[in-house]
Amino acid sequence: MGRSSRKGPYIDAKLIKKVAASQGDTPIKTYARNSQIPPEFVGKHFAVHNGRKFIEVYITEDMVGHRLGEFSVTRTFKGHGRIVKRVIEKT
């Protein structure tokens, strides 16, 4: 089940304060991956923690309503099984 509509979207209170106080293009560091993106965040740079390092994310209008964690990938895809070409030597 999702969040109740009467409560409204979850936006971290500390994150709102950081956005209001931000100046310039310096990215805003945050661990709040579950925070939704409101229209006030559009045009801002965020550094979202993925469990190991901070991933820089630039917020656009298309991202409004999504979560910050959706744009900071936590797993690295190494690929499926590799096909190894083997040379058959003639004897």
DSSP state letters, 26-82: --EEE--TT-B--GGGTT-EEEEE-SSSEEEEE--GGGTTSBGGGGS-------SPP
Q: What would the two tokens of residue 73 be?
A: 């990938």
From 3.20.20.140, 2.60.120.260, 3.40.50.720, 3.30.860.10, which CATH number describes the 13-71 domain?
3.30.860.10
Predicted TM-score of the model (pTM): 0.81
2-22 per-position pLDDT tens digit: 889 999 999 999 999 999 999
Q: What are phi and psi of 42, to 5 degrees?
A: -65, 130
39-79 per-position pLDDT tens digit: 999 999 999 999 999 999 999 999 999 999 999 999 988 88
Domain map of the chain by residue range? 13-71
**Residue 12: CA count within 13 A, CB half-sphere:** 15
